[in-house]
Amino acid sequence: MLSPKHMSAISDAVDTLNGLDPWMQWGVGLVSTLLTVAIVRTLMRKVVLDFVKATSFDWDDKLYRPVTSRMYGFILFGGTQLTMNWVLGKEDELNISLEPIFQAAYILFATSLTSVAMKVMIPVIIDRFSNPGTVTVSGSNSLIVFLLRAAAWFGGLYLAFSELGIELVGVLASLAVFSLIIGLAMQQTLGNIINSFMLALDQPFEVGDRIEVDNEIGSVVSVGILSTKVLTNEENLVVIPNNHLVNSTVINHARGGGDGVGRRISLVLDIGVEYDEDIAHVKYTILQLMRECPYIIDKPEPRVLLNELGDFAKIFRMYGWVEDYSDEFVAKDWLLKNIDERFAKEGIGIPFPTAIEIAADTKSSYNKQRKATNVRAARLKMIKEDKALLRERAAAKEEIEAVNERLKDPDLDRSERAALEESLRELNRVLSMFEAGDN
C-alpha cells in the first residue's frame, strides 16, 4: 500500500499535468501512447516471442504476429481516446460524436482476433480428436473454419454497424439487387471467382502438390481467383480455369499415401526375363535390390511377384513404397540401372527381339578395342555426372528444409518472408527437373 507521502506526490503530479497547456497535454498523451506501445513491443519480443520459439507447438507461432499487430492497434486507438477524454473532457461534442467510432473499432479488433484464433486453433482441436490412422487431407476442416469465422465476422460487423447507427440487414438487401445485375453480365467470370472460393474451402490440393487433370500432370504453382496454374515436368505452364477444374476429376499424387503419410507413393515396375530363368532366383535377386535401394522404405515391405507369362518372357512385377513422391523417378532410375548390372552378374537374361542374320559386317579387333575403351570412359564420366546430380539434388532438398524452418519464424517481416517464398519456389522448380526424365 502506498504511503501518504507517495499519494501526495502522485496527486501533485496529476494536478501538474491537468494544469498544462492543451497542446502540451496532447503531446504528453501522444508520448505516453507511443511509450506504452514500445514497452509492450519489448515485452512481446523479449519474453513472449522467446517463449513461443521454445515451445514445440506450431499454433502459438501462427498466433504471435496477428495477436501482436492487433494489440498495437488497440493500444493506439485506446491511447487516442483516453487523450481526447483528458484534454477535451468526456462531455465534449467531438468526443461524444466519435465515441461510436471508437466502440465500433474495438468491436472489429475483437472480431478480427477471434477470427484469427478460430483459423489457427479449430484445425488443431479437430486434429487432436481425429483418428491418426486415417489419411488426413489438408484443408478438410476448412468449411467448418470458414462458417465459424463467417459467423464471428457477421456478428462483429452487426454490432459495429449498430454502434454507428447503420442497419446491416438493410445494407445487405440493397447489395443483393446490385449483385444480381452484375452477376448476369459477368456470369463466366463470377463463376470462376466463386469456384476459386470453393477450391479454397475444399482444398483438394495445395501449392506444390503434384496433380493430374485431363492427362496433364504437374505441380501447382498458384491458385488464382480466375484460374489455377500447373507447371508440368516439361516446364510447360498449363492454365486451367477454375470452372473447368471444379467440374473435372483431379488426381492428387501428393496425398493419400496411407497411414496418414500423404506424400508417400507406391512404385510399381515390370521387368521381363527369359523363359529358362529360375523364378526363385529372379525374385530373390530383384527383392534384394529393392531392399538395398535407398529410396524404398522398409514398411510396407517391398514385394516381387510373377505377374504374367508373356509371349517371349516371364514378367515380374515389383511393388515398393517411396517415402516422398518427388523421389519416384530417382528411385526408378536407381532400380533399373542396378537390375541391369545385377542381372548381368547373376547371368539372368533379359529377352529382346531377334532376327535371322543375312549379312553382317565384321569389325576389326581395333574397332572393338576402341569401342570398349570408349565405353569404359563413358561409364566413368557418367558415374561422376550421376554423383554430381545426386549431390545437387540432396543440397536442394536440404535447402528447402532450411527455408521451410525459417518460414516458421513468426518474427519475419513481409519482405523477408516474400524473398524466402520466392527462393522456395525456385528450389522446388530445380528439384522438379529431376523428375522430368521419366516423362
Distances 360 to 3, 217, 357, 363, 370 between C-alpha atoms, Å: 116, 45, 7, 9, 19
Q: What is the DSSP letter of 264?
A: -
Question: How open is the CA angle 283-287-289, to the nearest 5 degrees?
Answer: 125
Confidence of residue 437 (pLDDT cuts 50, 70, 90): very low
Task: State the Cα–Cα distance between residues 3 and 142, nearest whole angstrom.
Answer: 57
Give the per-residue pLDDT at 242: 86
DSSP calls for 205-247: --TT-EEEETTEEEEEEEE-SSEEEEEETTSPEEEEEHHHHHT
Q: What is the pLDDT of residue 353?
A: 67
The grid cell for 264 is: 508417400
- How confident is the model at residue 223, as a pLDDT? 82
pLDDT at residue 179, rounded to an integer: 64
Q: How confident is the model at residue 255 (pLDDT cuts 50, 70, 90)?
A: low
Q: Is the pLDDT of residue 22 over 90?
A: no
pLDDT, residue 119, reads 85
Phi, psi values for residue 230, rounded to 5°: -125, 130
Evaluate if residue 371 carries a pLDDT over 60: no
With residue 377 as reference, give the H or E element that holds it.
helix 365-407
What value does the mean pLDDT take over residues 80-94?
A: 81
Residue 434 burial (C-beta neighbours within 10 Å; 0-12, 13-18, 19+): buried
pLDDT at 434: 54
Q: How confident is the model at residue 372 (pLDDT cuts 50, 70, 90)?
A: low
pLDDT tens digits, 144-184: 777 788 888 888 888 888 888 877 666 666 666 666 666 65
Higher-confidence residue of 44 and 190: namely: 44
> 340 versus 346: which is more confidently predicted?
340
Q: What pLDDT band is residue 73 in, cutting at 50, 70 and 90?
A: confident
Tell me the pTM.
Answer: 0.45
Say if residue 336's pLDDT is above 90. Answer: yes
Q: Are 293 and 331 in contact (CB under 8 A)?
A: yes
